[in-house]
């Protein structure tokens, strides 16, 4: 049967990591810091809005672009918060999470052989989805600059076939984000080479050290940006699957064409709940953000103390820690840690080859869990042969 599966798809998944995931899922009583979603439940008033919509009989399709009410709320919200004016009629599309939006965007713009620039290590879907759409992913190494894309490195990666850059910030897995000034530097290159900047800003609300700036809000950037965000991380709504794409009407129309044939529309219940989230959920967002920020301080201090060197993430809820001193590769480290101490973290190379030598630790977990897991990681490190245990890092 295997030859019935397309060659493209057969080549897709890095198999070692899949096997590790299965190992984690098959084990009991594991403390997992390997989770890519909030540990909070969706705030009650948002859940209640979903329930109420069902009671009222809202069980139909919505317009392909999404409920007008939700698009209009998004228009107001983006205008008030960032001064970004996207027309609810033509420039906003409600998608099944940012994941669908990325897929639609790439399929909407790629001609065979077009290159998509992807900073690495980065989120797992951009490369495979580019390939599925017939494009060529060009990975831009960011490891040498603390996982931050610079205008110089970006420009070096651009050639005539380059069509778009995917910029995810705050980043999963590194937690790196960009200040307005840093974005301005990148913008110069993007405008100069007439690239489209596809931004995945799903962690925008979890930015701790400065105000998040959407790339589209930079002066002159809006026409060259496809701005993607959603409700999953900020409102703890991962399972509802609601995201949105905002951008030039030609691109949104192209994406809507694909969306109408493949998805039709996002579940109406989820859209109703998302509308409520925009209306009343900001307080919840701020509260959860404060909690994540406190955990961040706690985790980063602990990791550096036990010898897993780690830069302070500026956003999201991940720490990307170096395991270089243990002389283990990422997958071995994670497997041994899981087997010996029952703690699950994600091997860094899941996010690209240059993630090798790192692990992603999620602090979307209770302080109690974090404390226990970090103790166990410390015990694990102490059990490694002398000279490979790490040690104090600056």
> Shortest gap between Cβ of 112 and other proteins (angstroms)?
27
> Shortest gap between Cβ of 161 and other proteins (angstroms)?
28
Nearer to other proteins, 37 or 141 (CB): 37
Q: Decide: residue 263, CB within 10 A, 0-12 exposed, 13-18 middle, 19+ buried.
A: middle
Nearer to other proteins, 44 or 68 (CB): 44
Q: Which residue has the tokens 């940012």?
A: 98
> Shortest gap between Cβ of 58 and other proteins (angstroms)?
25
C-alpha–C-alpha distance, residues 317 and 166, integer Å: 20
Q: How far is CA 14 from CA 18, 353, 383, in A?
A: 7, 11, 29
> Shortest gap between Cβ of 301 and other proteins (angstroms)?
5
Nearer to other proteins, 297 or 332 (CB): 297
Nearer to other proteins, 331 or 344 (CB): 344
Using only the alpha carbons of the chain, give its radius of gyration: 21
SS3 390: coil
Name the token pair of 227: 């701005």
Nearest to 53 by CA among 45, 42, 65, 63: 45
> Shortest gap between Cβ of 60 and other proteins (angstroms)?
29
Could you list the residues that contact other proteins (CB under 8 A)?
21, 24-25, 30, 32, 34-37, 39, 41, 123-125, 172, 290, 294-295, 297-298, 301-302, 344, 346, 350, 367, 371
Nearer to other proteins, 328 or 350 (CB): 350
Asked whether 337 and 380 are in contact (CB, 8 A), the reply is yes
Nearest to 364 by CA among 305, 315, 327: 315
């Amino acid at each position: 049967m295997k030859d019935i599966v397309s060659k493209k798809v057969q080549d897709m998944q890095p198999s070692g990591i899949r096997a590790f995931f299965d190992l984690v899922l098959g084990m009991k009583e594991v403390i997992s810091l390997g989770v890519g979603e909030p540990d909070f439940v969706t705030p009650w008033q948002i859940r209640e809005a979903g329930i109420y919509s069902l009671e009222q009989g809202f069980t139909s399709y919505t317009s392909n672009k999404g409920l007008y009410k939700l698009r209009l709320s998004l228009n107001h919200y983006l205008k008030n918060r960032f001064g970004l004016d996207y027309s609810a009629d033509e420039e906003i599309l409600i998608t099944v999470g940012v994941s669908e939006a990325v897929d639609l965007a790439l399929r909407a713009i790629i001609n065979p052989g077009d290159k998509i620039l992807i900073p690495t290590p980065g989120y797992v879907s951009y490369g495979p989805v580019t390939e599925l759409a017939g494009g060529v992913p060009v990975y831009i190494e960011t490891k040498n600059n603390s996982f931050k894309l610079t205008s110089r490195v970006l420009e070096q990666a651009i050639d005539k076939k380059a069509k778009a850059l995917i910029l995810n910030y705050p980043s999963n897995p590194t937690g790196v984000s960009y200040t307005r000034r840093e974005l301005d530097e990148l913008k110069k290159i993007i405008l100069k080479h007439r690239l489209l900047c596809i931004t995945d800003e799903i962690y925008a609300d979890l930015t701790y050290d400065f105000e998040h700036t959407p790339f589209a809000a930079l002066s002159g950037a809006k026409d060259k940006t496809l701005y993607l965000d959603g409700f999953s991380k900020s409102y703890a709504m991962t399972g509802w699957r609601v995201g949105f794409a905002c951008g030039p009407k030609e691109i949104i129309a192209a994406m809507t064409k694909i969306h109408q044939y493949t998805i039709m529309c996002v579940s109406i219940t989820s859209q109703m709940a998302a509308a409520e989230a925009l209306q009343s959920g900001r307080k919840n967002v701020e509260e959860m953000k404060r909690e994540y920020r406190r955990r961040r301080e706690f985790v980063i201090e602990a990791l550096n103390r036990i010898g897993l060197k780690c830069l302070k993430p500026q956003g999201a809820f991940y720490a990307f820690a170096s395991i270089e001193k243990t002389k283990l590769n990422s997958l071995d480290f994670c497997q041994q840690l899981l087997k010996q101490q029952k703690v699950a973290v994600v091997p860094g190379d899941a996010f690209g080859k240059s993630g090798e030598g790192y692990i992603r630790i999620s602090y979307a977990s209770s302080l109690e869990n974090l404390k226990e897991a970090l103790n166990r990681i410390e015990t694990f490190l102490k059990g490694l042969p002398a000279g490979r245990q790490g040690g104090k890092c600056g």
